[in-house]
Structures are given as structure tokens and as C-alpha cells.
Structure 1
Amino acid sequence: MANIQNILKGLIPSNKKQWKIFLACLGISTVLWSLLRFSEERSDTIKVQLNFVNYPKSQLLVSSVPKSIPVQIQGRGFELISRSLGFRSSSIDIDLSKVKKLSINDEIHYLWLPNQHKLEIYQAIGSKLKIGDALSKADTVRLIFSEKVEKELFACFNYQVNKAREHFILKQPVISPRKVIVRGAKSKLKYIDTVYTEFVELDLLDTDLNQVYKLKRFEGIDSLFEDSVNVFMEIEALKESNITIPISILNLPDSLEFKLFPNEVNVTFICAESDQKGIKNEDFHASVRFKDIKSSFKRLNVILNQYPNTLKNLRIEPASVEYIIKSKD
């Protein structure tokens, strides 16, 4: 044990001068090792930036644009590390007017194959580097375009009412212009018939809404001939009203005679004042079901089968009726 301690004591510097010599030797050896290591040739993967030029003017881009491709290269360590640290970068211009084109439905696919452009990539990365055996992991660079067309779309107000005033109703929005013309990608517009405004949350309204709202662009639209629409929404008072209608009998056998007491019901509802004049008895239908008849029941529930969907708080009186059945023979 003592021998080992003596050996270690002899290796470790014992004074300031020896420490200076030791550190100087260590620094020199590190520098020499680094020079030797980085002078060796090795492989690495770098990103070559892509610059697309000569975009087709009559077409609209409907896909994402790849920013770069990975390229496997060989070179000395000094050159590779400078690129890894971002001190140097490579880029290549791709002329879309000269690449391969493939039409699929309403889309035009522009295809650029890296492995068919080794010379351009070699020139882009620099003469001190060599392209590896596997040129690029990206076998195809693809941009998708579609023909620019114009289409007339319905404008729709995209809104939500947070608070509604009691006894008042916010009528359906009236939009002007009702339709707008847009220019966009044919492959996208063929599935679309409506363009919406930006989403709006409406708080408690005291007066009619009459305001201009911007239309929201969606993917595939290049331009809007009208970028906004005027929205008018009327606030109208609700009023309670009622109407008396007959009760029908569903699935009554022809051999039976059936009488209801009473044979009419009173329907009470709330609606906008302007809608009251247009409401008719024919808009309602009330009935009882013959299959609900059982010897232990003396009353049948009345069902309101049909009524205008603009009405609120509907009530029927009476909710059930008595009946008498007898044979026609």
C-alpha cells in the first residue's frame, strides 16, 4: 500500500513550477489530438436549404413547402464542424418551371428528385465536401398546386349569444351581400359553398344589431372580392298567444267508434309579434294513440305531433282526455 502511495505521489506535481509544466503539456497534447482528430475524413448529415423559384402564376399552392433536405456528406472534421455549428450553410435553387409535373384529379404535383440532381447539390455544398453514397433520405421533394378559379359562395354569420334578454328574441341575421365571389384553388373550392365571418360572441343586446364583420379566409382561398359583410339582426318582443285545435286518433280500427271528451285542446305558446299573423291551425297537429288504450286507464295523454319550430314554451290543455269506445255494428 505504501508503494502505491509513493508511486502516485511521484506522478502528481508537488510544486507550482511542476504544475505549470504539467498543464502546458496537457494543453499541447489536447491541441495535437484535436488537430489529428479533425483532420480525419468522416461522414455526417447536413441540411441543404431549398429555394423555389418561378412559381406558376395561374395556380395556387395547396401543400406545405419543404424548407430543406438532409444530405449525407463526407469531409474533414474542420469543415463538418463549421457547418454543424451553423457558421456555413448550403442552399439550392429549384426552378419549378423545369421540374416534373403530374396531374392528379384537380391537383398538379411538382416533383423534384434529389438523386437526379447530384451535380447541383455537389456545387451547393462546396468543393471541400464529397457527397456520400446515400445522397438524401428524401427521395422526392413535392409541391402541390391547383388551378386558380372563381366561385360564388354564401356568406354566413358565425356567432354565439352569451346572454338573451327575457321576453325578447334575436331574429335570424340578414346578411348583405348574401353571396360573395372568392378566388382560390379548384381542388379546395369544389367542396365548399359557404364562407363564414370571424367568430363573434354577442352579449346582452338592447337594440337591433347592424354592423360590419370581416369574412374569415380558409385554406385554399387566395383572395376575397368582398372582405366583409353587413349583418342586421332585429330584436323583437315575445308575446304569449294560444290556439284551439282538434284531436285526432292514430291507428283507430274501422270497426270501432271512438269519442273523446273533450275533442279539442288549447295550445299556448310564446312567439315574436311579427310571427303571430302567419300562424294557422293547420300548422299544428295533436293526437292520441289507440294502442295506449287499456282497460285500467280512463284517460289518454294528448301528444302534440306538429307545430312551428319558432315557437317556445308550448303547453297543451288539457294534457289528457277521456274516451268512449263502441262497436259500429
Structure 2
Amino acid sequence: MRGLIGKIFSYFGASHELHIKRNVVTYGICVIIATVLWFLNALNKEYTTEITYPIKYTDFPKGKLLVSEPPKEMTLAIKAHGFALLRYSISTSFLPIVLNVNSLLDKKDQLEYTVNTSEIKDRISAQLNTDIQLISIKPESITFQFSRFESKRVPVIPRVDYTLKRQYMLKNDISVTPDYMDISGPASILDTLKAVYTEPISLKNLSKDVTKTVSFEEIYGTQINGNDAKVKVEVERFTESKKTVPLVVKNLPDSLLIRLFPHSIDVTFDVGLSRYEVVSDTSFSFYVDYNQIKNNPASLKIQIERSPRHIKDLVFTPETVEYLIEKKK
């Protein structure tokens, strides 16, 4: 008996819960339908709004370079029905407004020109959907500043980062061919341009000559009359060499004699094997300046006047000399 009563109560309880769920579902459907109807009604209305578009500039005047920076985007005030706005924003959300610069300029010889965007409203409107009415444009004007192209001949400078194997040195200066290059561009850029540079190259642990073909570094707004250059790095073994070099006295009055102790110095340096026999004591010039005596020093400092280019680690001893001054008889 109790089991039968329990089944009856369970049946009615389940029926009540199912009724509640059906009411919730029905309510939800009604809300969705109402929302859709409201949204469709809203889209059917006419709206005035602003949309920002990127700008793409094309067809610049030949022989001129744009040196100003015109705006990269424009804001359009438009009027359209909601359906048109929704459809257009989905289909063209990333499409730029295209402006043909050459066709905007009335006088081709001008280097500065301002275009009122109200005057090109029809051109911009033609790029929009026919369901959209263009009201106004921001910015109100776009200014283009140009510079004429000129030509200039400048040296080519190689950019080389290198290391050498032990007991090796550069045989000659790093060379580049061609060593001069013609470059075209606006005068405002060429006036400050002193050279063109190659792209950097890195050479490690060199023990033999290397030649590389390297492109030029780009310089904005210019055109280099060539695509690349050849960079040559020559290396060779070196050895240590020693020379004895006499000292020279500068600015000595004609009425005086000066004796130096010592009167010559020992010079030690590293030199490439190809130049070992070429470098002699006459390749160097060291001197002392008599004007140092005004300060009454105990010794005079030795200074270098000349030394060969392709040597390294130059050391000389002593670095100062004692002196004795005598009057000429």
C-alpha cells in the first residue's frame, strides 16, 4: 500500500517539474523572438555615424619624392540604414580609401600642394556603397610636400667586423669596389649624405684573403646606382722587427746647441712578412720639442712624427731623454 502511494506522489512531482521546464523554455523563446524583432527594427532605421578608414596613396609624381607625412587615415561622417552599415562594415572593414596623388595635383611643377578633402568628396564617396551617404570628411585638408631628385657621387664605406688568427695581421686596408657610387634623391637628403655603406659582414679567425659581394644599406628616399659592391680583406703573417732611429730637435733657436742623452731610440713593432725588408729606420721620425724647456723639465718627452701605416704594436724606448744646452760660439 505504502509503495503504491509513493509511486503516485513521484508521478505528480515529475509532472510538476516538467511543466516548470516547459514554461522556462517558452519564455526563453519569446525573449529571443522579441530581441530579433527589436534588432531588425533597429537596423531598419537611418543612422548618422563616423567611420575611420586607412588611406592608401598611389601614383606619386615622377622625379619627386614625398618628404612630408600625410595622414594615414581619415574619418568619414556618413548616413545610412542599419542594414547597410552592418553589411558594409562586415564586407569592407579592412579596405583602405585609395587616393591617386598624381591626379589630385593641378600643377605638376609644384613642390607643395594642399588638397581640400571637400573637393574630392565625390571620389571618396564613389569608393563607398551606394546605400551610404557621405556627409563630411576629416581631416579637412591633406598637404603633400615633395623634393626633386638630384644626383651626387659619394664614397663607399665597407662595414666589416673581423677577427684574425694568431700571428696574422691585415696586409692592406680593407678595400671595396667600386669605391665611389652615384646616388640619386632629394636635395634635402643628399646635402647631409657623406657616404654610402655596405651591409655589415662578420668574418672570424681569418688566416687567408677573403672577397665578399655585399649589398648596400638602404637610405630612405634615395636610389643607389648599383646593387652591390665587392669587399676584399687581405691578411698575412707578421713578425717582430727592431730599428734604431735618431732623434730630431724642433724649434731650437739658431744661437743654441742641444745634446740629447741618448740621441737615438730603439723601436720595436710587428710588420707583415711582405714588408719586412721594406721598412727601415728612415721609415720613422721621432722628435723632441725645444719649447718644452720653458717649463724647465728634467727630461724631454719624445713624440712620433711619422711611422709606416701597415705596422702594429709600435713601442719605443726610452720615452724621454735628458738634455744639455750650449750656446754657439
Fold agreement, TM-score > 0.5: yes
1:46 aligned residue (51, 65, 80): 51
1:227 deviation in Å? 1.9
Tell me, yes or no, if the aligned pair for 1:182 and 1:223 is still in contact at 8 Å. yes
| Cα distance in structure 2, aligned partners of 1:90 and 1:168 | 58
Closer, same or farther: CA 139–281 of 1 in aligned 2, 3 Å: farther
How many residues matched?
A: 306
**2:124 maps to which residue?**
121
Helix, strand or coil: the match of 2:208? coil
Deviation at 1:219, TM superposition (A): 1.6
Amino acid at match of 2:231: V
Q: Scaled by the length of structure 1, what TM-score is found? A: 0.73
Q: Does 1:22 align with 2:21?
A: no
Please give the residue correspondences for 1:278-293 in structure 2 after superposition, counting only pairs within 5 Å.
Answer: 281=282, 283-287=284-288, 289-290=292-293, 293=296
Deviation sequence 1:232-281 (CA, Å, 0-9, x none): 3322333423231225377x899987644223322322334438736664
1:94: which partner in 2? 100
Q: Secondary structure at the match of 1:124?
A: coil
Q: Which residue of 2 aligns with 1:302?
A: 301
Contact kept in structure 1, 2:55 and 2:97, CA below 8 Å: yes
Amino acid of the residue matched to residue 307 of structure 2?
P
Deviations 1:125-178 (A, max 9, x none): 34433334xx23323334444334444332222211134543422421233333
- 2-side partners of 1:190 and 1:156: how far apart? 18
The offset of 1:85, in angstroms, is 3.6
Contact preservation (8 Å) 1:153, 1:193: yes
Contact 2:284/2:308 (<8 A) preserved: no
3-state SS of 1:97 partner: helix
TM-aligned CA distance change 1:74 to 1:150, over 3 Å: same
In structure 2, C-alpha distance between the alignment counterparts of 1:326 and 1:55, rounded to whole Å: 80
Q: Quick check: 1:90–1:125 contact (8 Å CA) kept in 2? A: no
Residue 301 of structure 1 deviates from its aligned partner by 5.7
Q: CA distance change for structure 1 residues 318 and 61 in 2, over 3 Å: closer, same or farther?
A: same
Displacement after TM superposition at 1:26 (Å): 1.1
Q: 1:76 to 1:161 in 2, by over 3 A?
A: same
The equivalent residue for 1:9 is none
SS at match of 2:32: helix
Query: Which residue in 2 is equivalent to 1:159?
Result: 160
Distance in structure 2 (CA, Å) of the matches to 1:247 and 1:92: 76
Q: Is the 8 A contact 1:245 1:267 kept in 2?
A: no
Unaligned segments of structure 1, at least 5 residues = 1-12
Residues 17-26 or 211-220, more deviating: 211-220
**For 1:14-65, what per-residue CA distance to the aligned partner results, in whole angstroms no more than 9, with x for missing partners?**
7122112211221122123323433444433223454555533333455667
What SS does the corresponding residue of 1:96 show, helix, strand or coil?
Answer: helix
- The alpha-carbon distance between structure 1 residues 118 and 163, as it changes in their structure 2 partners (threshold 3 A), is same
Q: Judge conservation of contact 2:214–2:229 (CA < 8 Å) in 1.
A: yes
Cα offset, 1:181, TM superposition = 3.3
Matches within 5 A, 1:1-329: 15-48=20-53, 50=55, 52=57, 54-62=59-67, 68-87=73-92, 91-94=97-100, 96-100=102-106, 108-132=111-135, 135-163=136-164, 165-222=166-223, 224=225, 226-239=226-239, 240-246=241-247, 248=249, 259-272=259-272, 273-274=274-275, 277=278, 281=282, 283-287=284-288, 289-290=292-293, 293=296, 299-300=298-299, 302-308=301-307, 310=309, 311-324=311-324
Checking the alignment, whether the CA contact within 8 Å between 2:159 and 2:198 is kept in structure 1 is yes
Asked if the contact 2:164–2:204 (Cα under 8 Å) also holds between the matched residues in 1, the reply is yes
**Partner letter of residue 319 of structure 2?**
A
Q: Give the unaligned 5+ runs of structure 2.
A: 1-17
How far apart in 2 are the matches of 1:168 and 1:95?
A: 56
